[in-house]
Amino acid sequence: MAEKKPYMVFDPPSAPTVATDIPGLAFDFNLGLRVSVPEGKYQVKFIDRAAHLMVYDAPASGATASSNKRYFVDWRLEVWEEDKLIFAHDYLAKDKKVLIKFAWPALGDMLAWFPYAEEFRQKHGCKLWVEVDEVYLNILQPGYPDINFLLPGDERPKDLYATYYLGLFSPWDNRDMQPADWRVAGLQAHGAYLLGLPPEEKRPRLLPSPKAEDIRPQEPYVCIATQATAQAKYWNHPSGWLEVVAYLKELGYRVLCVDRDRVTMHGLHGSTIPYGAEDFTGERPLQERLDLISGAEFFMGLPSGLSWLAWGAGVPVVMIVGFTMPGTEFATPYRVQQFHTCHSCANDQRNEHHYEDFGACPHHRGTDREFECTRCISPDFVKATIQRLLEAEKGRKPSP
């Protein structure tokens, strides 16, 4: 069994990287604000410039002081010797080397947060490197030519001025690792807050490859994805996908299932490609899935990574949801969700989701109400949403 990759490795340079004219005094922003001072009677102050707030004021001698906050803060650093200010620095990343590390392995998280890396680069005028898992490199690099890409284990640039770590850090109410709780703020806004940016929705730039036309069907088609990383994300209606696939075929569409897995088994829970859908599953590169999805009339999926991929490709997305509240994912006018039963447990701050617990249903596990949030989404509701999409998107051409 392959060794599981760590979700995030916090590995800043061993010592602050930015030297000063004062021997023994150095600083950086590679794990929050860090400053090393020589032996002497020094006073170190950390000031949040945006909040006009002194957050640290303490003596230091022959030591390194660091902030508790690991995310972006517009810091001012001051070092005093007795009553004299001997050094001050206001955060300024212009033309400096900055690294953003993305957590492994969730596709949806990556696509939600990556647009803010480019937003950060433009705002600060920095030389930006990003570290991403290899599986995402090919779909992201073409849309972001001004960003330098690294894979885990690659040599990093020397003299990094700052490093930021993007992830969902458990426990989710840990305010040193993240300024807001994603369960309240929403998944994409979480990434914006980590980088000190406005939480405005940003679509990732995902481009079809030159080979896209060679693999796309010539007839009108729809892509679907029925698998997810937790049973609570599935459409748990017993005949839902069967009825909708049949309906799409009656409308004249080919229906391509682009999940990675054709069949999944997790304990008592199992799922398979819907009858009538064409099998485009398997260990395909993400770019190939992007090429297929970007030529579809529309995409149908769940609150999971391939829905984010379709959104990034500019394709209308029908998203069947019970697990999360509106605002957690990107906005789509074709979100299918009912509120008559228990729903949105992912956003309930009483719950700390455990990724290894595939069958979690926090409020009704093992009862006849288990997964009622999506079991009670009727096929007719989904069909009506498809009809509304077709009327609204009439004349839209798929991506070239």
Please give the pLDDT value at position 108: 96
Tokens 């992830």, residue? 167
Partnered with residue 27 across adjacent β-strands are 18, 35
CA angle 17, 162, 97 (to 5 degrees): 85
Query: Taking every pair of C-alpha atoms in the chain, what is the biggest distance, in angstroms?
Result: 81
Query: Would you say 36 and 24 are in contact if contact means Cβ atoms under 8 Å apart?
Result: yes
Output the CA torsion sign for 91, 97, 103, 108.
positive
Q: What is the spatial distance between Cα 349 and Cα 352, in angstroms, rounded to a whole number? A: 7
Please give the pLDDT value at position 105: 82
Closest to 373 measured CA to CA, from 305, 299, 321 = 321
Tokens 């001698």, residue? 61
Spell out the alpha helix ranges (H) of 222-368: 240-250, 286-294, 305-312
Rg, C-alpha atoms of the chain:
24
Closest to 117 measured CA to CA, from 182, 61, 165, 69 = 165
Calculate mean pLDDT across residues 381-392.
97
Domains of the chain: 18-90 (2.60.40), 97-194 (3.40.50), 212-392 (3.40.50.2000)
- Least confident residue range of 30-34, 316-320, 390-394: 390-394
Kindly report the pTM of this predicted structure: 0.95
Query: Would you say 28 and 96 are in contact if contact means Cβ atoms under 8 Å apart?
Result: no
- Asked whether the predicted pLDDT for residue 399 surpasses 70, the reply is no
Query: Would you say 58 and 52 are in contact if contact means Cβ atoms under 8 Å apart?
Result: no
Q: What is the spatial distance between Cα 370 and Cα 207, in angstroms, rounded to a whole number? A: 39
The count of residues in the chain is 400
Q: Which residues are part of the catalytic machinery?
A: 109
| DSSP string across 22-59 | STT-EEEBSSSSEEEE-SSSEEEEEEETTTTEEEEEEE
Calculate mean pLDDT across residues 127-131.
98
- Asked whether the predicted pLDDT for residue 206 surpasses 60, the reply is yes
Peptide bond just before 171 cis, omega within 30 deg: yes
- Asked whether the predicted pLDDT for residue 4 surpasses 80, the reply is no
